Amino acid sequence: MIVDLHSHTTASDGILTPTELVKRAVNNQIDILAITDHDTVKGLPEAQQVIKDEKLPLKLVCGVEISTIWKNNEIHIVGLNIDIENAELVALLLSQEQRRIKRAIAISEKLAKLHIEDAYTQAQQFAKGDIVSRAHFARFLVANGWVKDVKQAFKKYLGKSGYAYVPTQCCSISDAVNTIHAAGGQAVLAHPTRYDLTLTKLKLLIADFKDCGGDAIEVSQSRQTQDDLQKLAKLANQFELLASQGSDFHDLVNYLDLGKTTPLPGSVTPIWHNWSLD
């Protein structure tokens, strides 16, 4: 069975529309796909509709990837099997969206001071009317020749040491986990090895996540060494957490293709072990 529980569409900063993403998943013979856009569930109805209309052989899991702040680090919490109409979830996502808009305007103001004009409007065009993220600013900076690629856009302007960095204002891990649970879902700590934390700090993060009621950690993810996979499997078991896997697919340049993560080691319990698959 092929399972991918972390992916993005044009509803956030992925390059494929929900329809294109779902079709790619079917082509890649995926059995279970979660769409987990940043702080939004707006891509899901279109994906559900196309699966229904075209009777596609795919189980779609309603998901979201919520940005949170923990000890000054931006930590992502994925929610799986959520009710996308749940009032608490809708309210949290609305406040996250408002914070994102404020941040995008602040980034644009910083870029203007560097004589990079009109960045917010331009980034909005890359976002095609949906929420603007730093990934859209990066695409604008590349398209206009300010940098040679997205990586450099983050290094020079948008990342933590960039000229136009604006820290995220987002909710806490406990807000995210509680809201995911209120919406009937399970909470997963996304890509634990991508936060540049020492092992000691990473264990502290996982312990705090567990204390907040977190259910699982991503063990198999994009851009990962075998060592990291084994390390995360061990941590999942040590903290009695379930294991998830996901490509974090946004595009084919910077991420793994859908469904192409390494299978989970037999030592962990997959988060989908007790899901009903009809």
195 or 237: CB nearest Mn ion: 195
Helix (H, G, I), strand (E, B) or coil at 218: strand
For residues 1 and 31, the answer to whether their CB atoms sit within 8 Å is: yes
x-marked contacts with ligand AMP along 50-89 as a string, rule CB under 6 A: -----------------x----------------------
Taking the complex as a whole, how short is the minimal distance between the CB of residue 223 and ligand AMP, in angstroms?
10
Using DSSP bridges, classify how beta strands 242-245 and 32-35 pair: parallel, antiparallel or unpaired: unpaired
Residues in 200-259 that interact with ligand AMP by CB under 6 A: 250, 254
Helix (H, G, I), strand (E, B) or coil at 228: helix
Taking the complex as a whole, how short is the minimal distance between the CB of residue 232 and ligand AMP, in angstroms?
19
Structure tokens at 11: 């509803």
248 contact choice in ligand AMP, Mn ion, none (CB below 5 to 8 Å, kind-dependent): Mn ion
Measured at the alpha carbon of residue 9, what is the angle toward residues 158 and 149, in degrees to the nearest 5? 35
Q: Which of 23, 24, 38, 139 binds ligand AMP (CB under 6 A)?
A: 38
Tell me if 134 contacts ligand AMP by CB under 6 A.
yes
Number of residues that bind ligand AMP (CB under 6 A): 13
Give residue 209's identity as a one-letter amino acid code. F
| Nearest Cα residue to 276 out of 92, 107, 61, 97 | 61
Tell me if 99 contacts ligand AMP by CB under 6 A.
no
From its phi and psi, is residue 181 left (phi > 0), alpha (psi between -120 and 50) or beta? alpha
Part in contact with ligand AMP (CB under 6 A); list of ranges 17-25, 29-37, 117-125, 147-155? 147-155
Q: Which of 9, 19, 36, 133 binds ligand AMP (CB under 6 A)?
A: 133
Taking the complex as a whole, how short is the minimal distance between the CB of residue 135 and ligand AMP, in angstroms?
4
| Nearest Cα residue to 188 out of 3, 16, 23 | 3
Q: Which of 99, 110, 151, 260 binds ligand AMP (CB under 6 A)?
A: 151
Exposed/middle/buried for residue 225 (C-beta within 10 Å: 0-12, 13-18, 19+) = exposed
Tell me if 178 contacts ligand AMP by CB under 6 A.
no
Q: Which residues bind Mn ion (CB under 5 A)?
A: 13, 65, 76, 190, 248
Whole-angstrom Cα distance, residue 74 to residue 51?
Answer: 33
Tell me if 135 contacts ligand AMP by CB under 6 A.
yes
CA dihedral sign of residues 264, 243, 16, 125: negative
Tell me if 190 contacts ligand AMP by CB under 6 A.
no
Whole-angstrom Cα distance, residue 265 to residue 144?
Answer: 44
Residues in 155-174 that interact with ligand AMP by CB under 6 A: 159, 168
Part in contact with ligand AMP (CB under 6 A); list of ranges 90-98, 146-154, 192-200, 234-242? 146-154
The site for ligand AMP (CB under 6 A) is made up of 13, 38, 67, 133-135, 150-151, 154, 159, 168, 250, 254
